[in-house]
Chains A and B, each alone.
Chain A
Amino acid sequence: NAGVTQTPKFRVLKTGQSMTLLCAQDMNHEYMYWYRQDPGMGLRLIHYSVGEGTTAKGEVPDGYNVSRLKKQNFLLGLESAAPSQTSVYFCASSYSRVSGVSYEQYFGPGTRLTVT
């Protein structure tokens, strides 16, 4: 099992450009999350999904959109990137109905995004 993977690992954007970050998990998890981590801070929840086709806003959703068309994938989009979105983005997943209740959140390796 690869666990949680994120694509790309690094990206540099110019202000106003758009991009999509891909998170994939192979653990049959129901829940998926997108976080951002700024220097010297804890993670902040951007959006989350409790199942295929459903998404909801987290603590800092402005400037981002998400989609969960397939259970194993959770996409994070930036329509018009701004320097304030320079951050490290982490994806996480949790809870499989098949393997039973587990409260662990499994994190991906992160995507380092710089917006100039």
Chain B
Amino acid sequence: ELKVEQNPLFLSMQEGKNYTIYCNYSTTSDRLYWYRQDPGKSLESLFVLLSNGAVKQEGRLMASLDTKARLSTLHITAAVHDLSATYFCAVYNNNDMRFGAGTRLTVKP
């Protein structure tokens, strides 16, 4: 069974600092997604990673995928308050999509 583990579940950061969110999954996967969710809102797509070694960057966020280790990371560079949200990874395999529990990120001034 496909399982997805995300850590940390809660993350409080100072503005300007760097940090990484980790996403481990249990079986081979077709692709991996990262989403952002603001309170009471829907999911906003950040990245779709398709192959081993894939790296994508958008602004202060960079995602990478290591399919051999079954690990994806979301790296935050020089955090700003606007990045405060919950971040989810999700793993897609054969029409089945499994989400991690989410990382609730709070960026403090």
Q: Are A104 and B99 in contact (CB under 8 A)?
A: no
A58 CB-CB contact with B under 8 Å: yes
Q: B residues 1-51 with Cβ under 8 Å of A? A: 4, 6, 31, 33, 41-43, 45, 48, 50
A74 CB-CB contact with B under 8 Å: no
Q: Tell me, in angstroms, the Cα distance from A44 to B4 when the chains sit together.
A: 12
Q: Tell me, in angstroms, the Cα distance from A43 to B45 when the chains sit together.
A: 14
Chain B, interface SS category: strand
Give the total of B residues in contact with A, Cβ under 8 Å: 21
Given A103-B31, A104-B48, A108-B42, check contact A42 B96 (CB 8 Å): no
Which residues of the partner chain B approach A104 to less than 8 Å between Cβ atoms? Answer: 45, 48
Residues of B in contact with A (beta carbons under 8 Å apart): 4, 6, 31, 33, 41-43, 45, 48, 50, 88, 90, 92, 95-102
